[in-house]
Amino acid sequence: MSTPPPTGPLVTRDTVTTQLLALGVRPDETLLVHSSLRALGWVCGGAVAVVQGLLDALGPGGTLVVPAQSGDVSDPALWGNPPVPEQWWGAIRASMPAYDPLITPTLRVGVLPETVRTWPGALRSAHPQTSFAAIGPGAAAILDGHAPDCRLGERSPLARLAELGARVLLLGAGYDSCTSFHLAEYRIPSPLVEVGRPAAGGGWEVVTEVAISSERFDELGHDFERDRPVVRGRVGAADVRLFPVADAVAYAERWLALHRPGDEELRGPAHQSRRPRP
């Protein structure tokens, strides 16, 4: 059986740049991008063309930031999609490679972040499970100092992005992937959780962290978009949303305190699944 031809639309590097600028992306700004390549349509050049289009829109003074999470650098007892047999856990803990920002691949964040991670001149933050990667003159200031016991809180790139007036670009991605909402979880009373991973110097380490969850982020995003200014449009076939990181965090602080008070059962260690959700 022959494969049917793509239905499009045809998206090129220039398409991405032109439509982002029309939406209001500004040269020299900082963008935190969550993306779905598939949502864009048929992209000539794939993820490389999209990154090029983003960088063209931002210009030489702009900085592109993406989540570069590696949730499988973690305790196998917490893995899902699929889990692994309990009798394997000890061997996995003993042999798992420690996080290396240069070579540890991303997981569950899509092909575009992995493309950014490996881009010439890209930098990556130091957290073993919830790192960010960035390209541009602001990359080092944003990524430096990502504390090993602060996945997405005050000592993470998210806090720097909020301080710097960066904006979030949801490029075919939904609010359930909006990492900025997690910073709000650090700014309201939240339960703690122990997170295990291989130590850089060998062996196994456990750190105490704020428990985070993206549960109900789709509802949070719906209300945020209803109540706050959010630029909406399209790039190719993808729905796009553009808004300040700081606005998203401030709104989420109030929303989570009201709608998820004491929801400790929702907040197991996030980003621990070894495989992407189906």
Say how far apart CA 195 and CA 206 lie, in whole Å.
5
From 119-128, 151-160, 176-185, 269-278, the region with the lowest mean pLDDT: 269-278
Can you give the three-state secondary structure of 216-239, one letter per residue? CHHHHHHHHHHHCCCEEEEECCEE
pLDDT, position 81: 79
Q: Is the dihedral of CA 67, 68, 74, 78 positive or negative?
A: positive
Note whether 210 and 154 are within 8 A (CB).
no
Res. 269 pLDDT band, cuts 50 70 90? very low
Note whether 34 and 179 are within 8 A (CB).
yes
**Residue 265 pLDDT exceeds 90:** no
From 54-63, 80-89, 165-174, the region with the lowest mean pLDDT: 80-89
What is the arithmetic mean of pLDDT over 28-41? 97
DSSP state of 128: S
Our CA angle for 31, 232, 151, nearest 5°, is 40
Res. 260 pLDDT band, cuts 50 70 90? confident
63-67 vs 30-35, strand pairing mode: parallel
Q: What is the pLDDT of residues 217-255, one digit of tens each?
A: 999 999 999 999 999 999 999 999 999 999 999 999 999
Q: What's the farthest any 2 CA atoms get from each other in the chain? A: 57
**Residue 8 pLDDT exceeds 80:** no
Mean pLDDT, the chain, whole residue set: 91
| pTM across the whole model | 0.91
203 half-sphere exposure, CB direction, 13 A CA radius: 3
Note whether 113 and 122 are within 8 A (CB).
no
Provide the token pair at 112. 């575009």
**Residue 2 pLDDT exceeds 80:** no
pLDDT, position 190: 87
